[in-house]
Chains A and B, each alone.
Chain A
Amino acid sequence: MTKPPYGSRMDCAPTMTDLEIINFCRTGYLMLPGVVPEVVNKQVIEYLEHVDSSHEPTPIVGESFFLDEVLMNQEAAGAVRSLLGRNFTLPLIISNHRGPLPYEKPQDWHRDGGTIYTSALEYLQVFYYPEECTEEMGPTVLLPGSHFMRNKAPMMAHLGSIKGTVSTAAPAGTIILTVYGIWHRRSRAPSGPQGKSLYRNLLKYNYWRTSPPQRDWLKDDDIDFNTINFNPPAGVFEQFQGAIAAARMFTWLCGIESQYKKRGGQNWPVAPSVRDGMNQEGLPKALANHKQQD
């Protein structure tokens, strides 16, 4: 038996556009509903039920159905390639959050251990539901934009309902890419098992970057970075500060963070209402609208 390709460098075609990359920076996640074929989802459940029902079924990486159709799933790997660049590495660990069904209390809100707050996107935390996860089965709930909200997990434990949260309830085969530090929790699960498994299986794993960041995803030559709203859709920020954080992350991903000078006030990206093709003050040169008249 050959050794599973843990940590192997991989490449594929990027699939995300400039706007999709910006939305990822704003929200901290990308959800790809039902992208894994049903036949593969069933193979995964079979594996989790009968081969390795532990909380770390990492050897599943060595199964071709998992490698080809989940880890290197065309849409998911294309998104990973877009965000992490060429030669990203495959996961070293696969965790399975086998949530009991039903489950009365929601999990405490938290960010995962080891989180650091940075504009650099060196790795992605990815979730995969091999079976449908309904609202009644305790899907993970995310708070978009919270990857920019500094906190410590033990200091979030008293939080309850939060405005703007997003449920990841989704069909089987859904893959969700996240910034590692995004706030999340499992919601309560009033329902018993509905699929083959007695649990809500949620596989969780990381891909890592090996290449310096650059804007080598699907570039839109007509995009005007002056008029885009960078504000996170939820979370709590002082005016403009969420947009500033998202724009900084975008410039890091473009490999031009050194061009991003935060001079304060209405410096890019906080004035998207500029007119007639003008560039906002402080817009990095590489993102400038060259139609502007000098």
Chain B
Amino acid sequence: MKKLVEQIKHIEKQYVAGTLSFEDIEHARQIAQDASNEVRQSLLYLHATSTNPYSSVVGISIYEDGVDSDGLDERGSFRYSSIKDALDDGWRIIKFPETSLAVYEQDNYGLGYEFVLERWR
């Protein structure tokens, strides 16, 4: 993004000076293209004790480049202890718990209530 902003500033100067070239614009387009190619979707699974999006977390896993998928910090604690913690850190919910799968209400299903979150890096 920083490169792109710099290139746009350069284009503005060239335009004011009347020396803007097609190459200047093409360079900006290339920077934008490269930036979008670098962005990756990261996934965060949080298993909560209820469907409340602020509820506490009993399970965590992260699928993000360079991050341990077990979702623990240096002290061995969950990186996020609630879904709110994750939202505050820039994650957004892309899937809410699938409650319709609990067909028989007397039975126990899965690991609580699974929220799937994403962020792009």
A residues adjacent to B (C-beta < 8 A): 106, 117, 148-151, 155-156, 158-164, 235-238, 241-242, 245, 262
Contact = CB atoms under 8 A, between A and B. Distances in A.
A238 B61 contact: no
A251 to B, nearest CB: 16
Nearest to B61: A160
Interface stretch (B6-14, B16-24, B105-113): B105-113
Name the interface size band of chain B.
Answer: 20 to 34
Contacts of B62: 160
Contact of B45 (A151, A160, A163, A237): A160
A159 B108 contact: no
Contacts, number: 64
Given A159-B61, A160-B70, A161-B71, A242 B108 contact: yes
B60 A150 contact: no
SS of B interface (majority): strand
Contacts of B61: 158-161
A64 B18 CA distance: 95
Given A148-B108, A150-B110, A238-B108, A158 B45 contact: yes
Interface of B: 45, 47, 49, 57-63, 69-72, 78, 106-112
A230 B59 CA distance: 23
B71 to A, nearest CB: 5
Nearest to A160: B61
Contact of A149 (B45, B60, B70, B110): B110
Contact of A236 (B58, B60, B107): B58
Given A106-B70, A160-B69, A150 B109 contact: yes
Given A159-B47, A163-B58, 13 more contacts: A117-B107, A149-B111, A159-B59, A160-B45, A160-B71, A161-B72, A162-B47, A162-B111, A163-B57, A163-B59, A236-B58, A236-B112, A245-B108
Contact of B110 (A151, A241, A245): A151
A149 B108 contact: yes
B72 A150 contact: no
A164 B112 CA distance: 13
A262 B66 CA distance: 50
25 contacts: A149-B110, A149-B111, A150-B110, A151-B111, A155-B110, A156-B111, A158-B45, A158-B61, A159-B45, A159-B61, A160-B45, A160-B59, A160-B60, A160-B61, A160-B62, A161-B60, A161-B70, A162-B59, A235-B111, A236-B49, A236-B58, A236-B111, A237-B108, A242-B108, A245-B108
A31 B63 CA distance: 33
Nearest to A109: B111
A204 B47 CA distance: 30
A160 to B, nearest CB: 3
Nearest to A188: B70
Contacts of B69: 160
Considering residues A117, A162, A236, which has the most beta carbons from chain B within 10 angstroms of its beta carbon?
A236
Contacts of B108: 148-150, 235-238, 241-242, 245
A226 to B, nearest CB: 22
B57 to A, nearest CB: 8
Contacts of B60: 160-161
A151 to B, nearest CB: 5
